[in-house]
């Protein structure tokens, strides 16, 4: 039987957003552009978030239609297929503008899903 619970995917997203957030706290765009390690951590984290978000149930994503699901899925595809063409400022803006908008709904849905499994 396939586990249809979104918990694992939501955990992946929340943990990746948190890791990226801790790596990027107070990092300027100029500093990010010159730090290969940070760029790699951010790119890999966004790939994970992208793939996990694509595997969430459609109704869950629909409940949070204002969240940037398509943007994050799109940049994840670019990172997987055309990683050499993704410029650092695009990643930096995804971190600043899009990831925070995914964190709250994912945490909310994770709490609900965990409560339902405990019943």
Domain boundary assignment for the chain: 7-118
Question: What proportion of the chain, given as a percentage, has pLDDT over 70?
Answer: 97
| Averaged pLDDT, 31-37 | 95
CB-CB neighbours of 94 under 10 Å: 25
Beta carbons of 106 and 10 less than 8 angstroms apart: yes
What pLDDT band is residue 3 in, cutting at 50, 70 and 90?
A: low
User: Is residue 20's pLDDT more than 60?
Assistant: yes
pTM recorded for the entire structure: 0.91
pLDDT at position 1 is 41
The answer, yes or no, to whether residue 70 has pLDDT greater than 80, is: yes
Answer for the pair 102, 72: CB distance below 8 angstroms, yes or no.
yes
CA 60 to chain centre: 15
Tell me the C-alpha distance between 78 and 119, whole Å. Answer: 40
What is the per-residue pLDDT for 105? 96
Looking at the chain, the whole-number percentage of residues with pLDDT higher than 90 is: 77
Cβ count near 72 (within 10 Å) = 23
């Amino acid at each position: 039987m396939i586990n249809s619970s979104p918990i694992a995917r939501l955990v992946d997203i929340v943990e990746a957003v948190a890791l990226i957030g801790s790596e990027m706290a107070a990092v300027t765009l100029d500093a990010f552009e010159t730090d290969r390690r940070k760029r790699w951590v951010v790119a890999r984290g966004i790939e994970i978030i992208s793939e996990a978000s694509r595997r969430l149930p459609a109704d869950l994503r629909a409940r949070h239609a204002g969240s940037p699901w398509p943007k994050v899925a799109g940049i994840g595809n670019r990172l997987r297929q055309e990683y050499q063409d993704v410029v650092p400022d695009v990643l930096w803006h995804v971190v600043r503008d899009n990831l925070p908008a995914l964190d709250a709904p994912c945490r909310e849905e994770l709490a609900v899903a965990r409560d339902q499994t405990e019943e």
